[in-house]
Amino acid sequence: MTDRITLTGLRAHGRHGVYDFERERGQDFVVDAVLELDLAPAARSDDVTDTVHYGELADRLVAVLTGEPVNLIETLADRLLGICLADPRVARATVTVHKPEAPVPHAFTDVAVTMTRTRPGPPAGTPGGGLASIAGGPAPARPQPGPQPEPAGNGDAA
């Protein structure tokens, strides 16, 4: 997949962190999101409904950034990835969470965590693709190696 939508430098004030003072004062977090999906349908139709609306995506990401606090930016990145992959057209997403005001006792520019997730299963639009693949469900039975037990019964043909 070579088509991408990139949202860079999305900034919001959140109260994430391990320390009480991070939760009390809060701090700015900056997010970069890269969505990989087929943009050909949108290019042909020139219709926003055939693509991921990046304004609406930004609203949903900010809601997570300003919402329920978490301790780790790894957890925050994982939640943001869930938002990015909620659209079944997105095959893969990469999210970077920057914490430029992290409590590090040395001069630094940024602390960031980057996580990438790929939608499991076939791409959206094919049988078995889409959100059902993310949600999971029972795994298909795998044949077990070695001899299999005989079915219970008395051995007589029915």
Q: Which of 99, 119, 124, 130 is catalytic?
A: 99
In this structure, what are the phi and psi dihedrals at residue 69, rounded to the nearest 5 degrees?
Answer: -65, 150
Q: What residues pair up with 113 in beta bridges, in sequence order?
A: 97
63 catalytic? Reply is no
CB of 63 closer than 8 Å to CB of 79: no
CB-side exposure of 50: number of CA atoms within 13 Å?
A: 10
Cβ neighbours of 108 (radius 10 Å): 9
Instruction: Considering only CA atoms, give the Rg of the chain.
Output: 22
Q: In angstroms, rounded to a whole number, what is the distance separating the alpha carbons of residues 37 and 44?
A: 15
Task: Cite the active site residues.
Answer: 99
